[in-house]
Amino acid sequence: MIEIKNLNKKIGTFQLKDININIKKGEYFVILGPSGTGKTMLLETIAGLRKINSGEIYFSNKLVNEIEPEHRKVGMVYQEYMLFPHMTVKENILFGAKLNAIENKEDKLKKLIRDLSIENLTHRSIRNLSGGEKQRVALARTLMTEPEILLLDEPLSALDSHTKRKVEDQLKKIHERYKMTTLHVTHDFNEAIHLADRIAIIDKGEVIQLGKPDEIFQKPKNTLVASFLGCRNLFKGNADTKNTILVNDALKIYALAETKGEVSFMIPSENIILSLDPIHSSAKNSFKGRVIAINKKVSIVEVTVDIGVNLVVYITYSSFNKMSIEINKEIYVTFKATSVHIF
């Protein structure tokens, strides 16, 4: 559906470099990256709002480089919604429909406002709407023009966490109902996991990694991706040929190391087992340590154990209570050599 080939775009000192992305028809594709990495710029080049320096953009195998935004059949929703302040909600929603000579405008309007639960807002001024309401009106305004591609620029960033989750669910439902190819830009990896069929991680204008959410979260390509995704337990050590990594010249960790010399590696927190006694199992890594920090989250507890390096382990509240974990308690950590992800 969308094929981006060797796209380059330079503004001042910032540059989008050799972007290559293929997005399938009906796919929910998320571009994930920290702020200021060119995500919005990429969306705007796809929408035709910015001319590119080189490369090609195809929609359904048709080159669209020279096509003006109003003829690309793309819909764009910005983080700030950009609802026209001199129009009512209804006028906003119908703005594009009037320009595009959409058939059965009134029927479509009724259906859309029902789908987005904004029936009671249509005659209101946009000034008095809440963030969530503005978001839905902006979405309705875009969907009213029946775009083939929906571009969402940080659409949930301005919302509080409760509204955000609700709108996320609504976005998912809308996507399932309208089956529109969607490109969603965000810096929030939870949002990406929840919504995306596939994710592209972008940093400093370059695509660093592209794949399904599970693949990316399980095997981040490098420490930069891993740290951006919020992965813990990122370490450096010396790998030797015996499939071991020596950390700080003292701690020996078993891993499937294929390279020799200094390596960066990650041990996913959810793959580590905590126990009060040593476990005799096939897992080759088992260490005795001491609890040095306890961080209670909504559904899990983060326990930091000093085993020579500080290892963060996620456990449930029931395990936490059952094991009576407290600061300075001696405890065992166990994980398999295959759980050690070397970059």
Partner 1 sequence: MTITKGDQMKNNTFKLLMLSISIILLMFLTIPILKMFTHSTLDIFYQSAMEKEVITSIFLTLRASFVATLLTIFLGVPLAYSLSRYKFPGKFIIESIINIPLIIPHTAAGIALLTVFGDQFIGGRFFSYFGISFTGNFAGIVIAMMFVSMPFLINETKEGFNKIDEKYEKVARTLGASPLQSFLKIVLPMNKNHILSGALMMWARGISEFGAVLVLAYHPMTAPVLIYERFTSYGLKYSVPVAGIMIIITTVIFTLLKVFQKKDVLDDRN
What does the binding site for partner 1 look like in residue numbers (CB under 8 A)? Answer: 44, 47-49, 68-70, 72, 74-76, 78, 80, 82, 84-86, 95-96, 99-100, 127, 141-142, 145, 147, 151
Burial status of residue 245 (CB atoms within 10 A of its CB: 0-12, 13-18, 19 or more)? buried
Output 99 or 293, the one with its CB closest to partner 1. Answer: 99
Query: 3-state class of 97 per DSSP?
Result: helix
Q: Give the nearer residue to partner 1 in terms of CB position, either 127 or 280.
A: 127
How far, in whole angstroms, is CA 144 from its chain's centroid?
26
Tokens of 263: 């390596």
CB nearer to partner 1: pick between 100 and 223: 100
> Smallest distance from the beta carbon of 155 to partner 1, in angstroms?
13
Q: Rounded to whole angstroms, how far apart are CA atoms 255 and 340?
A: 6
Of 248, 239, 208, the C-alpha closest to 341 is 239
Nearest approach in angstroms of CB 5 to partner 1 is 22
Rounded least distance, CB 75 to partner 1, Å? 6
In the bound state with partner 1, the residue whose beta carbon lies nearer, of 142 and 285, is 142
How many degrees, rounded to 5, is the angle at CA 180 between CA 160 and CA 68? 100
Q: How far is the CB of 124 from partner 1 (least distance, A)?
A: 13
Q: Which residues pair with 333 in a beta bridge?
A: 274, 287
288: its two tokens:
């005795």
CB atoms within 10 A of CB 279: 12
Name the residue nearer to partner 1 (CB basis): 48 or 220.
48
Amino acid at 48: G
The closest alpha carbon to 230, from 316, 115, 314, belongs to: 314
Q: Could you tell me the smallest distance in angstroms from the CB atom of residue 141 to partner 1? A: 7
Which residues, including other chains, have CB under 8 Å from residue 77's CB and lie 6 or more apart?
135, 138, 139, 142, 150, 151, 152, 153, 155
Q: Do 272 and 302 contact (CB within 8 A), yes or no?
A: no
Smaller CB separation from partner 1, 70 or 169: 70
Closest CA to 45 of 70, 29, 65, 21: 65
Instruction: Identify which of residues 146 and 302 has a Cβ nearer to partner 1 in the complex.
Output: 146
Closest CA to 135 of 186, 81, 195: 81
What does the DSSP 8-state code read for residue 165? H
Q: Are 41 and 83 in contact (CB under 8 A)?
A: no
Compare residues 42 and 303 and give the one whose CB is closer to partner 1: 42
Q: How far is the CB of 102 from partner 1 (least distance, A)?
A: 9
